[in-house]
Amino acid sequence: MNFRLVVSILGSVIRRSSGNKLQSARWLRFNQARPNTKMGGNTMRFMMLVKTTGEFSGPPPQALIDAINKQGEAAVKSGAMIANGGLAPVTAGTTVRIARNKLTTTDGPFTEAKEVVGGFAIFDLKSKQEAVESAQQFMELHLRHWPGWEGATEVRQILSAEDFLQPYSCQASPD
């Protein structure tokens, strides 16, 4: 059976532990710069969305899976990675949309998309530059272990409710 595989970040959701208790996923709602004792200082949350632009007919090579797992384990131990996961194919998804003041729900498969999100990771890092460097290292694994794969990792800061009370300024990269 052929299927479209778009997963690049593999693994289950990772939650930080506090003693014997797992902290709840409420951290998604808050993104104030906060002390992270493992990272040594105030940090920001970033989400990385891995997108594919190509058609693939099987799982990623085992060497890529192993390399991603090794990189992910190191990021968790350092306190940088909060959560990660791969997403099911778009054929298994559902879209809930509002258009022309009407709510509609559509089950997959969907019309062809130019890019499909296949996975995500959430990091607690000191700067956007550190987040971009992390994404570059992740994409290097794809270059080395999955020849021909095409895709992108989008890096976006996670904002808190307080961030929406004031204008958000983006720092554009110099041309």
Other beta carbons within 10 Å of 6: 24
Structural domain contains residue 22: yes
Q: Look up the domain containing 156 and give its range.
A: 17-165
pLDDT for residue 38 is more than 70: no
What tokens were used for 112? 């062809």
Range among 54-63, 69-78, 153-162 with highest mean pLDDT value: 69-78
For 88-142, what is each residue's pLDDT tens digit?
A: 888 888 999 999 999 999 998 776 677 888 899 999 999 999 999 999 999 999 9
Structural domain contains residue 106: yes
Q: What span, in angstroms and rounded, lies between the C-alpha atoms of 122 and 157? A: 9
Structural domain contains residue 174: no
Structural domain contains residue 152: yes
**Site of tokens 């085992």:** 62
Number of domains forming the structure of the chain: 1
Q: What span, in angstroms and rounded, lies between the C-alpha atoms of 14 and 81? A: 8
- Cα end-to-end distance, the chain, whole Å: 46
The verdict on pTM exceeding 0.75 is no
Structural domain contains residue 50: yes
Structural domain contains residue 48: yes
CATH number at residue 73: 3.30.70.1060
**Site of tokens 């299927």:** 3
What tokens were used for 94? 């559902």
What tokens were used for 75? 């990021």
Structural domain contains residue 175: no
